[in-house]
Amino acid sequence: MIDVQSNINFMSYAGGLTLVILFTSLAIFGWLAVRYRNIRSFEFQISVFIIVYIVGEILEDYKIPSLSTSLPYIGSQIHIVSAVFLAIILWLRLYYVRRSGRKMIDKHVPVEEGGD
């Protein structure tokens, strides 16, 4: 038989733990974004993407009363913005690599052949 009271306590504890983990990861990636500062570096761009995604996750999971009445789907919309931002980052990086004439690694060679 499942003890309902302990299950409820675990769920409230898990929700608080998730919030702590989200804010900890937000702090870590915020520090990385400040550390890399150069907007053209891939590390900075990915850190900003992850920060935006985490903010969307926090707003989606933990409804803030003042925001949820005026903007009910703000967390989901921020997730969409972060996905578009990631697509733009990757597309622009591919575009600049191809425009500069650098060779991309796109040749699949089996390990046994050991190609160059």
- The mean per-residue pLDDT over the stretch 28-33 comes to 92
Structure tokens at 58: 């926090």
Euclidean distance between CA atoms 87 and 104, whole angstroms: 18
Q: List the single range of 2-6, 23-27, 30-34 with lowest mean pLDDT.
A: 2-6
Residue-range domain boundaries for the chain: 4-100
Residues 6+ apart with CB under 8 A from 97: 104
pTM value is 0.71
Higher-scoring residue by pLDDT: 7, 15: 15
